[in-house]
A and B are shown apart, each in its own frame.
Chain A
Amino acid sequence: MATVTTNFNFPIPQSTDLVKDGATAIAALGTSVDTQFVDLKGGTTGQVLSKASNTDLDYSWVTTDDANAIQNAIVNAKGDIIGASANDVPAITSVGANGEQLVADSSATTGLRYVATPSASNPVLNSAMNVWQRGTSFSLAASTAATYVADRWQTLTNANQAVTISRQATGDTTNLPNIQYNLRWQRNSGQTGTGGMGLVQSMETVNSIPFAGKTVTYSFYARKGADFSGTITAYLFTGTGTDQNRLNAAYTGGVTAINQTFTPTTTWQRFTYTASLGSTVTEFASYFLWEPSGTAGAADYLEITGVQLDIGNVALPYRAAGTTYQQELAACQRYYYRQGGQSSNQILASGFGFNATTTYFFLTPPATMRIEPSVLEYASLANWDGNATSALTNLTIDSSFSSQNTIFLAATMASGGTQYRPQALFTNNTLNGYLAVSAEL
């Protein structure tokens, strides 16, 4: 009496079966094997077996592109990347343009997006408003001519338009990418002047040329005070001259690449604008024009930070020109260098007595300056020779021996100098003393 195998139920004879029934039993076994393994028959090169149902030995030959694998059809073009748009939902990210890089973007379908690779540093220096060598708050009277405030940023005021410029903490890590400070540009309460005021950074030619002939995206973060009045416009001006100051005059070969009035709210927002720059551009300026209206309230201000220019039509995540504060400070010191305020008797420069009324000092800035400085600023300084202190009558830059690296200063005194004696220039017992040289545009 035949029985069956344990796993597949193939009929097999038992040891007690009659020998004469052996051929029949073997035939039955063979037929059963042949029948049950029929799914293994056929197939073509490269195919694999796939379970067709839950039944034992129920297979079918399939290509590797089976229903349970990623389908060939999901990709459309060279470079497509398979990702997901949700749990268990494959999706592709189409390849970007040559040279672009992939970044995470939660607003994109697949959470990924191609963006232009930064091919130039952000040319806006002190773009996050964290370098303030001249001080962190400025009270500008009405009708003040062009004045530098935060490093590299310049402004002016018109009639009846006293303004306060100050460094403020952004206090927002949600709407800003961890930018610590901003510049607050405030028309003082009660002021009635409504003329246009500029807040400008003029870029040096050497830093502008990399953007010539490129599509660029200009971006910045802004918010307004509760009493902000009038309109604010973001300009990007270009020129074909060399190292011109755009607040002082229109550019040679000037073009308005961007002219966008924007509407800030009391919450930080990023504004981005794209333009194409001419191939002959050699200079450009970031220029905010505020045209206030009516009488200023207590909070008639605008705050700005994170100003950036990118090559391409997308505003890349904010980045400063310098990767550290030290680098940003050094970049700004190419244009302006100031000492003082660190101690009441702070040594600022050393030199030698030339005669009883003249001392020469050597000042070595930490960064090579843009040009040999032409403007000297100072307050509450004196000359000390180790024995006597002499008040200064005048202090000037003597171009006889000055350079971009060492500034030669001539100090005159009423009397008291000693010829050839070493001298020190110092803040005369006050934290208000300072010494600065400017090589600004």
Chain B
Amino acid sequence: MDNVTFIEVQTAMGGLETYAKIDHGNEQYTTMLKSTYDSMQAEQANMIEAAE
């Protein structure tokens, strides 16, 4: 089961960004900006209607 945490990382330009870190187990991870993660989650909530 994936485990999602949110981390704050300082950027090279000095800002602070919040990232989603998804732990898939076995030392496998996916990271992305939290805003990207949130939009992907929203898309998946709308998922699958085959016919237009």
Residues of A bordering B, CB below 8 Å: 145-146, 156, 196, 198, 233, 235, 237, 245, 247-251, 254-256, 259, 287, 289, 354, 358, 360, 374-380, 394-401, 408, 410, 412, 432
Contact = CB atoms under 8 A, between A and B. Distances in A.
B9 interface: yes
A255 B52 contact: yes
Contact of B19 (A360, A394, A432): A394
Contacts of A375: 30-32, 36
Contacts, number: 95
Contact of A256 (B33, B44, B48, B51): B51
Given A374-B36, A376-B31, A432-B26, A396 B43 contact: no
20 contacts: A145-B47, A146-B47, A198-B50, A248-B43, A250-B46, A358-B10, A375-B32, A378-B29, A379-B26, A379-B27, A380-B28, A394-B31, A396-B9, A397-B33, A399-B33, A400-B11, A400-B13, A400-B15, A401-B12, A432-B27
Given A374-B36, A378-B29, 15 more contacts: A146-B44, A196-B48, A247-B47, A248-B43, A256-B52, A259-B51, A374-B32, A375-B31, A378-B28, A379-B28, A380-B28, A394-B19, A394-B21, A398-B11, A399-B11
B47 A248 contact: yes
Contacts of A259: 51
A394 B27 CA distance: 11
Given A249-B46, A379-B29, A394 B9 contact: yes
A400 B12 CA distance: 6
Interface of B: 7, 9-13, 15, 17, 19, 21, 26-33, 36, 43-44, 46-52
A354 B51 contact: no
Contacts of A145: 44, 47
* A contact face: mostly helix, strand, loop, or mixed: strand
B50 A396 contact: no
A378 B22 CA distance: 11
Given A395-B31, A398-B12, A410-B12, A289 B26 contact: no
B28 to A, nearest CB: 4
B29 A377 contact: yes
A256 B48 CA distance: 14
The 5 closest A-B CB pairs, nearest first, are A254-B52, A248-B43, A379-B28, A400-B12, A400-B13
A121 to B, nearest CB: 25
